[in-house]
Structure 1
Amino acid sequence: MSLICPICQAPLTSADNGLACANRHSFDRARQGYYNLLPVQHKKSLDPGDNAAMVEARRRFLDAGHYAPLARRLAELAAERAPHSWLDIGCGEGYYTGQLAAALPEAEGYALDISREAVKRSAKRHPQVTWLVASMARLPLESASLELIASVFSPIDWNEAARVLRTGGGVLRLGPARDHLLELREKLYDEVREYQDDKHLNDLPAGFSLAHSEQLSFRLPLDSRQAREDLLSMTPHGWRVNAERREQVLAEAFEVTVAVRYDWIVNTSTPAQD
């Protein structure tokens, strides 16, 4: 285990029914199987992240298989890298995490999200993964302890990625391509702004380089109102539109384009020598 204390950064070891560091900071293991390593002083709100309704909407939509091709290709790309240790950031309800765990059965896997509601549900589904309520901005993991970080529609703190990744490890990023959910956006907004799907590459710090990129797209019928409601609830678009426009979108079946890109961004830097 490569966990560190979120308060003092000392190594965490198993103690009773939880974790503890040498400075006597302790963290219980919740009955669902996760550890809460997000101290109250690091929270921006009382209960950060997705609420229960948003988590359930995402769970229904993903469990219905609508994004199965995305998860399948993500797992294939991760397996090609054959990491010994990996982390899924912004893991949500754990759909993609489960695919990664199945593809990497011998690797040490971690998953985290700032939403306790999300992690609480995901930990019960995939107990072979170490589940954490934690923040990407303060990863409770030792430096140079990971070989792969998976980011599925989640922001990346590159300073933390550089700290926890070993040389030769990298970030496997799954993000929206230019036409992702274009038809939905056209229904929601009078003017649809063009999305630049490679803008994240402008933020790469020294020591990181793009080693592989590919795209995947397909048409997705949204035949049921439940599917349309769930998709809207799990995207930022859902809370940006008024009730009238929302009802117009939900009223009739339509198809959307699912278009994503996968980037393998490698850490080529050499760790500093003491």
Structure 2
Amino acid sequence: MKLICPLCQAPLAELEGGVGCAAGHRFDRARQGYLNLLPVQHKKSLDPGDNAAMVEARRRFLDAGHYAPLAERLAQLAAERAPQRWIDVGCGEGFYTARLAQALPAADGYALDISREAVRRACRRTPALTWLVASMARLPLPDASCQLLASVFSPIDWAEALRVLAPGGGILRLGPASAHLLELRQRLYDEVRDYAEDKHLQDLPPGLELAHSEGLEFVLPLTERQTREDLLAMTPHGWRVNAERRERVLAEPFEVRVAVRYDWIVKSGA
């Protein structure tokens, strides 16, 4: 499958050191193997996405196996759909992407994130995939080209998802349930707000509908300080609290609930 230009949507062809389109837009391939398809005019900051410290914290935490059950169920659900072509949007440092690739060995796989630091590390896990620094808001894929779009703790642009999904294809979303990391949030905030774990479904456009949903929950002991530090660093909570409250959370071991939901959201049409 040919990628498309994020600026003019024309097909991209291989060039020395990168790719380019007929309009003269050119994008470099890094020495690690990924393509940078995030033009400067599409960036909201100089270096968007997670920084190196956040990516490393997530890598340590995930590689230690703390969220392995989440990845394994995600891979099982993906394998049941048997897509010919799939993409992981907001792939981060590639932990879940690698599990998807193992479960879908015969499929054509793509992965992207706006964080260059994340993709730089991710592409080492599974070099055979097509790794991209790119935006979910402008997916560099042709219309109706994918049977599965995976999103793990990542925002989804529903219109773009609808565009790139083939009829009968779908979005495999892994997101937090209402009790996710509740004990951590209780330690961080004086008041913990409830939220609706299905709120994202209110934004579904015509042409997308929920076909399956299920949950997964388990208790995770946070016995090591490094584990607590990494978990805090890889969540939005890490930069929302002051130093005193943060240290209070990190000082002693505690258990936290991991609670997530999986949604399979399909594109209708023959």
TM-score (ref. length: structure 2): 0.98
Structure 1 residue 122, shift from structure 2 partner: 0.7
**AA paired with 2:194?**
E
Q: Which residue of 2 aligns with 1:5?
A: 5
Partner of 1:64 in structure 2? Answer: 64
- Which residue is equivalent to 1:203? 203
Partner Cα distance (2:36, 2:242) in 1: 35
- CA distance, structure 1, for counterparts of residue 214 and residue 127 of structure 2: 31
Q: Does 1:264 align with 2:264?
A: yes
Contact persistence 1:2–1:145 (CA under 8 A) = no
Give a deviation string over 1:72-131, Cα, whole Å, max 9, x none: 000000000000000000000000000000100111100000000000111122101100
CA–CA separation in structure 1 for the residues paired with 2:196 and 2:24: 47
Aligned position for 1:113: 113
- Structure-2 residue corresponding to 1:182: 182
1:133 counterpart residue number: 133
Shift in Å at residue 23 of structure 1? 1.8
| 1-structure distance, mates of 2:98, 2:159 | 26
SS at structure 1 position matched to 2:144: coil
1:22 aligns with 2:22: yes
Residue 29 of structure 1: how far off its partner (Å): 1.3
SS at match of 2:250: helix
Q: Does 1:249 align with 2:249?
A: yes
Aligned Cα RMSD in Å?
0.8
For the residue of structure 1 that corresponds to 2:167, the secondary structure is strand
Which segments of 5 or more consecutive residues in structure 2 lack a partner in the other structure? none
Percentage of pairs with the same residue? 75
* Number of aligned positions between the proteins: 270
Partner of 1:124: 124
Distance 2:124 2:102 in 1: 15
Q: Which moved more, 1:179-188 or 1:2-11?
A: 2-11
For 1:102, the equivalent position in structure 2 comes to: 102
The answer (yes or no) to whether the contact 1:85–1:147 under 8 Å persists in 2 is yes
- Ranges of 4+ aligned residues in structure 1 off by more than 6 Å: none
**C-alpha distance in structure 1 between counterparts of 2:186 and 2:124, whole Å:** 38
Q: In the alignment, residue 129 of structure 1 is paired with which amino acid?
A: L
Aligned to 2:223: 223
Tell me which residue corresponds to 2:151.
151
- In structure 2, give the amino acid aligned to 1:161: A
Aligned to 1:43: 43
* Distance in 2 of aligned mates of 1:11 and 1:258: 42
Q: Residues of 1 paired with 2:19 and 2:64: CA distance?
A: 36
Q: How far 1:13 sits from its partner (Å)?
A: 1.8
| Offset of residue 2 of structure 1 | 3.1
| CA shift digits 1:204-254 (9 cap, x unpaired) | 100111100000000000000000000000000101100000000000000
What residue identity is the alignment partner of 1:186?
Q
Q: 1:79 aligns to what?
A: 79
